[in-house]
Structure 1
Amino acid sequence: MLLAVAWYHAQRICQWRADICSPPLNTEEVLTATAPQLSMYQRLGGLLPVNFRRVGALLNSEGVGLAVMAVLVMGVALAGWGANYVALDDGRLRWGAVGIIATAMFAVLVAERHMAATANEAWPEAKFIAPILRLTLVVQCLSLPLFVFPTLNIALFINLPAVVVLAVAIEFLLRGLFSLFMPPKTEEAEPDYLAKSQLAAQLVWPPRPMLFLQHEIHQHFGIDLRQLWALTVLKRVFMPVLTVMIVCGWLLTGFKQVSTTQRGIYERFGKPVTVLHAGLHYGLPWPFGQVKLTENGQVHELAAGEQDDTAPEPLASAEGNAPPGADRLWDAIHSFDKAQIIASQSDDQQSLQIINSDVRFMWRIGLTDNAALAATYRSNNLLALIRSTANQVLVHQFSSLTLEQLLGEQRNALASLINRAVQQKLDALHSGVELLSTVVEAIHPPAGAADAFHGVQAAQISAQALVARERGHAAELAASAQTLATTRRNQAQMNATDMTSKAQATAVSFAAQKQAVAHAGQVFIDELWFSQLRQTLGHSPLLIIDSRIGAGASPTIDLREFPSLNAAARRDMPAKPTQEPSR
């Protein structure tokens, strides 16, 4: 496209020369050619204050056309920009493309040599078209190896031709825009050739940037740099100094800086030698010595049900609403949940059941050097390895448990069991990954069955509560009956023991009295009689009359109560007059 633009501009200049050099027409033809009939729209346009003729001349100028074509070329080049390309198969199609490109390269090379050998007097624009032909030849040379060797599917080789084309297209765009600010030329002056590129002119061998700069300065400013001794010395020492700078720069590639949040694995001739910690280190320059950076203690969170292409959730504001990831309702579908098949029992028969679980793992690369080496060279994708291992462990752990057991089991114990199992598998694979903790966020039925499971769970809870209440009532009645029976049994035992003790005491007392009667006779009987009498009459007022009165009869006991003389005297004594208080 750039070559076509350059050829088109050269053709317009050639056409202008042909018109200038052609024989003039007669007067009538000139008048007829220069006085065209104006249409109605053209006459109406002439009445408007806007000079459409000048605007049309501006839009039809070569600068605007060159800028538009340059933008089109840039769009085409950027549309093909990519990290890889779809390689052709090994059949005839690929080698046919190689043959077409090789033939085009030969044709462009012949055209370029012809333009370079054309004298300036014969065709002045040939020296400007030749660099564009060399640009086309360079693009073809850079594109040909990608067809010959499909393994060179690297972004650098793929996009390098587009970089060269973009540079020249940007130069064309700038030339077209800057030409609009140039003073207009008369009709007799030859138009300038705008489609020329100074970048493409540098595609010569050997490259002569200093010679090109010297020629441009001498042509535009009249300064001959060949007469300056400093520039002559600079020209002589340019290559040695440039070589020394390149060598020094290449040696400086041996310096490697490792930040505090990273560790570096130093490779010497492609073999890992040691692990570099934070700081500045020096080794062999590139490509003999390289440093691969890895993490140093960064903690990551991984959900077992999360996919690799899932976009991370944006950070939520502390003062705003809760993020969608905080939703733990059963009747909502979560992207981080993973479906698991667990055991189930229905009507005394074994079956299967599906649940959704949200299990998260906190992991990091181990802090030892061996862990860093293992994480870098033994696994291509640590996230996929951890997720695959975790899914295997979850399937094994959940396959032998029912939903009631999972919901009723302690999550901390289950998380600890899963954490140990996953860590053992990762250690067996020498992954270099260290699991810090495992958190079981949620275990619930699928979202579609959440409402039904809520009803079943509520009915089960109600039945269990009713059974527990009836069992408590029965236990209360049994305990009350047992307490009453125990009380009555203890009371009966206490009464029987009391009666037995009294009977035994009476029997002992009777035996003692019988024995006393046998030994003492009437004396004991009288003493006993008087003792009983004293106990009976101990608290009663008595009037004892001498028993010798009436010797032939027994003593008489009068139980009547008579007041004493002192009490009668106090009762019959008049009351003392009341003394009035002194005033």
Structure 2
Amino acid sequence: MHSSARYSLASSQARLAARVVFGLGTIIFLMLLAALMVQFFAPSSRWPSLLSSNAAALTLLAIAWHHTQRICQWRADIVDPPNPENALEDTPPPSWLYQRLGVLLTSDGPGLVMMAAIVMFIVLAGWGSHYVALDDGRLRWIAVGVIAAAIFITLVAERHLAATSREAWPEAQAIAPVLRLVMAVQCLSLPAFVFPTLNTALLINLPAVLVLLVALEFLLRGLFSLFMPPRAEGAERVYLAKSQLAAQLVWPPRPLLFLQHEIHQRFGIDLRQLWALRVLKRAFIPVMTIMAICGWLLTGFQQVATTQRGIYERFGKPVAVLPAGLHYGLPWPFGRVMLTENGQVHELAAGEEPDTAAEPLTSAEGNAPQSADRLWDAIHSFDKAQIIASQSDDQQSLQIINSDVRFMWRIGLSDDAALAATYRSNDLPALIRSTASQVLVHQFSSMTLEQLLGEQRNLLASQINRAVQQKLNALHSGVELLSTVVEAIHPPAGAADAFHGVQAAQISAQALVSRERGHAADLAASAQIEATTRQNQAQMNAADAVSTAQATAVRFAAQKQAAAQSGQVFIDELWFSQLRQTLGHSPLLIIDSRIGAVTPPTIDLRDFPTLNDAARRDAPAKPTQEPSR
């Protein structure tokens, strides 16, 4: 018969633990329901995270009270066994497998594992990385009052259980650390309500981190309990829902006290009696102080890599630009070094989004990368839409094109450029991108698509580079543009085919016009040549006729004068001369004019054939020989 205090008080302790578990379960349910509703309507609010972390801490406390209730109920059953009249006397004994399965299911280990997993799920469900400011209203002060009242109640319960004798209630010493865990979570939740604009995710999630660590310890304890030897019949149940991490929440902190106690209990070694440890304990504070001072002085050493430059700040004011190497200055926080680039060249596309992932490098033997695609009918992520001028039917309008303009830039090599790039701009790529957008809008707004397509790319790139560099210099950005490349200028992908058709029609029309103009010019030239030829021929004939007439007139005048001076002699001489010219190449037959006294002299110019010609003409033709059949 057990007569100790823990057995005699077990019944009342079991009832108290059951009531506490029921009350905590109700509170946990309401808190999780409120967190779920807030999460549904305001996902970025800090209420779900704080409610989930506090509900998870109360769940750990409910687990501890539940295990206490089961152990106290077991003790109460030992003192006052239940009435066995309703038990069946003829029930056959269960099999070995059924007995082992029943022992596994009724043990505290699997239940602790399952509940610890649920607690971890609750914590992770309320975890967040971005929170908005809390509304400055009355509700947050109500939450502060509720948390303060809960801290007071938890503190009273913890002090009561911590003062309870181990003989009267052994589990009270294990529940007290979990109560301190709940108080720690509640205290860490207060700054999130007191300071509504404090949106640091680490501070808001810090209670969840603490609960998650203790839940992980519960999970490991439950898993390790499955490998423990079975409890002997009549032996007390082992209390598993205890946490050594929660036990460290004491003041002053004594993290080595547990290790010292365990070594003394398990191995019989009392570390307090070792002289070396006493000396180490006595010299620990001075040695650690000297080490901390030396470590603090070593923070004045700063190493600058060869690809970087260091801007040394003394009391928050930049005083020098340090080259690559090892440097020493004032220790932190009086002096520090801000690292910046030293000549590194970057490529930036004007139309590239800030959060675009870098394209992976492709193999030299593989396919071309996606960025090498310059077809107009494809949509490129690095293209930037621009509004340009347009003219249709003698009316001014607007048009949209896609351009791919890339900038090669770096931080200037001078000290002033390094200081300007570090302190005057928070995001240099964003500054270059916005400045380039302004320049491109101004540059393209007064040009049409035909002008842009026909413009020299090098000249256009140099103009853009010069304009962007002037704006960056005016902003004192410290950025140096090495080159600007206009990769592509084309209509949007959806209008590329239509633009190709328009271009083809324009080229065909221009070709037809040029061909017809050439044909007209050819006809005009031919007509001009023929007219010139005829004019020259007419002029030549006229000149020839005039010359002939003039010569005839001169000859007639000379012959008239000769006839006047010589008389019939000249006429006869002229007649014989003309007759000689006329008959110079004709066969002559001279007949004496005195044959016929009455007939005057006659010149017969007929051409009589010779005897050979007459014989040849009168000869019969040769008969034609018919081909033999």
TM-score, normalised with respect to structure 2: 0.71
Aligned-partner SS, 1:330: coil
- Alpha-carbon deviations, 1:240-292, whole Å to 9, x = none? 22222233223322222222222222222222222233222222333332332
Is 1:347 aligned to 2:405, yes or no?
no
Q: CA deviation at 1:195?
A: 1.3
- Matched to 1:159, the amino acid is N
Q: CA deviation at 1:114?
A: 1.0
Is 1:211 aligned to 2:257, yes or no?
yes
Distance 1:292-1:56 versus aligned 2 partners, 3 A rule: farther
Q: Which moved more, 1:245-254 or 1:123-132?
A: 245-254
Q: CA deviation at 1:413?
A: 0.7
Given the alignment, which residue of 55, 63, 70 partners 1:5? 63
Distance 1:246-1:35 versus aligned 2 partners, 3 A rule: farther
Is 1:405 aligned to 2:451, yes or no?
yes
Is 1:237 aligned to 2:264, yes or no?
no
Residue in 2 aligned with 1:190? Answer: 236
Is 1:22 aligned to 2:68, yes or no?
no
Q: Which moved more, 1:485-494 or 1:78-87?
A: 485-494
Q: Distance in 1 between matches of 2:449 and 2:303?
A: 53
Q: Distance in 2 between matches of 1:83 and 1:269?
A: 33
- Alpha-carbon deviations, 1:441-465, whole Å to 9, x = none? 1111122222221111001111222
Q: CA deviation at 1:470?
A: 3.7
Aligned-partner SS, 2:226: helix
Residue in 2 aligned with 1:379? Answer: 425
Are the aligned partners of 2:389 and 2:448 in contact in 1 as well (CA < 8 Å)? yes
Residue in 2 aligned with 1:165? Answer: 211
Aligned-partner SS, 1:108: helix
Are the aligned partners of 1:6 and 1:196 in contact in 2 as well (CA < 8 Å)? yes
Residue in 1 aligned with 2:358? Answer: 312
Given the alignment, which residue of 460, 471, 483 partners 1:414? 460
Distance 1:401-1:11 versus aligned 2 partners, 3 A rule: same
Residue in 2 aligned with 1:221? Answer: 267
Residue in 2 aligned with 1:33? Answer: 87
Aligned-partner SS, 2:487: strand
Q: CA deviation at 1:52?
A: 4.8
Residue in 2 aligned with 1:68? Answer: 114
Is 1:272 aligned to 2:272, yes or no?
no
Are the aligned partners of 2:134 and 2:197 in contact in 1 as well (CA < 8 Å)? no
Q: Distance in 2 between matches of 1:430 and 1:347?
A: 46
Q: CA deviation at 1:87?
A: 3.2
Residue in 2 aligned with 1:541? Answer: none
Q: Distance in 1 between matches of 2:429 and 2:315?
A: 29
Distance 1:470-1:396 versus aligned 2 partners, 3 A rule: same
Are the aligned partners of 1:84 and 1:158 in contact in 2 as well (CA < 8 Å)? no
Given the alignment, which residue of 200, 219, 230 partners 2:246? 200
Q: CA deviation at 1:124?
A: 0.7
Aligned-partner SS, 1:191: coil
Q: CA deviation at 1:35?
A: 5.0
Q: CA deviation at 1:403?
A: 0.8
Aligned-partner SS, 2:374: coil
Residue in 2 aligned with 1:97? Answer: 143
Given the alignment, which residue of 123, 134, 139 partners 2:185? 139
Q: Give the RMSD, CA atoms, in angstroms.
A: 3.1
Q: CA deviation at 1:472?
A: 4.1
Percent of aligned pairs with the same amino acid: 80
Q: CA deviation at 1:408?
A: 0.7
Gaps of at least 5 residues in structure 1 are: 501-583
Q: Distance in 2 between matches of 1:266 and 1:71?
A: 50
- Matched to 2:160, the amino acid is H
Are the aligned partners of 1:83 and 1:158 in contact in 2 as well (CA < 8 Å)? no
Q: Distance in 2 between matches of 1:36 and 1:76?
A: 47
Gaps of at least 5 residues in structure 2 are: 1-58, 548-629
- Matched to 1:191, the amino acid is R
Given the alignment, which residue of 404, 419, 438 partners 2:484? 438
- Alpha-carbon deviations, 1:66-118, whole Å to 9, x = none? 22222332333334444443332111122122112111111111111111111
Aligned-partner SS, 2:382: coil
Q: Which moved more, 1:369-378 or 1:394-403?
A: 369-378
Q: Distance in 2 between matches of 1:330 and 1:36?
A: 90
Q: CA deviation at 1:187?
A: 3.1
Q: Distance in 2 between matches of 1:488 and 1:236?
A: 133
Distance 1:4-1:293 versus aligned 2 partners, 3 A rule: farther
Distance 1:492-1:9 versus aligned 2 partners, 3 A rule: same
Distance 1:251-1:489 versus aligned 2 partners, 3 A rule: farther
Residue in 2 aligned with 1:512? Answer: none
- Matched to 1:208, the amino acid is R
Aligned-partner SS, 2:240: coil
TM-score, normalised with respect to structure 1: 0.77
Residue in 2 aligned with 1:302? Answer: 348
Aligned-partner SS, 1:181: coil
Aligned-partner SS, 2:310: strand
- Alpha-carbon deviations, 1:198-230, whole Å to 9, x = none? 222122111223333222211111222222111
Q: CA deviation at 1:177?
A: 1.5
Aligned-partner SS, 1:319: coil
Given the alignment, which residue of 28, 50, 54 partners 2:100? 54
Are the aligned partners of 1:142 and 1:160 in contact in 2 as well (CA < 8 Å)? yes
Q: CA deviation at 1:421?
A: 0.5
Is 1:451 aligned to 2:497, yes or no?
yes
Q: Distance in 2 between matches of 1:156 and 1:281?
A: 34
- Alpha-carbon deviations, 1:393-447, whole Å to 9, x = none? 1111111111111111111111111111011111101111111211111111122
Aligned-partner SS, 2:433: helix
Distance 1:229-1:375 versus aligned 2 partners, 3 A rule: same
Q: Distance in 1 between matches of 2:204 and 2:316?
A: 26
Q: Distance in 1 between matches of 2:204 and 2:323?
A: 36
Distance 1:71-1:255 versus aligned 2 partners, 3 A rule: farther
Q: CA deviation at 1:363?
A: 1.6
Q: Distance in 2 between matches of 1:263 and 1:82?
A: 37
Q: Distance in 2 between matches of 1:272 and 1:159?
A: 36
Given the alignment, which residue of 284, 291, 294 partners 2:337? 291
Aligned-partner SS, 2:249: coil
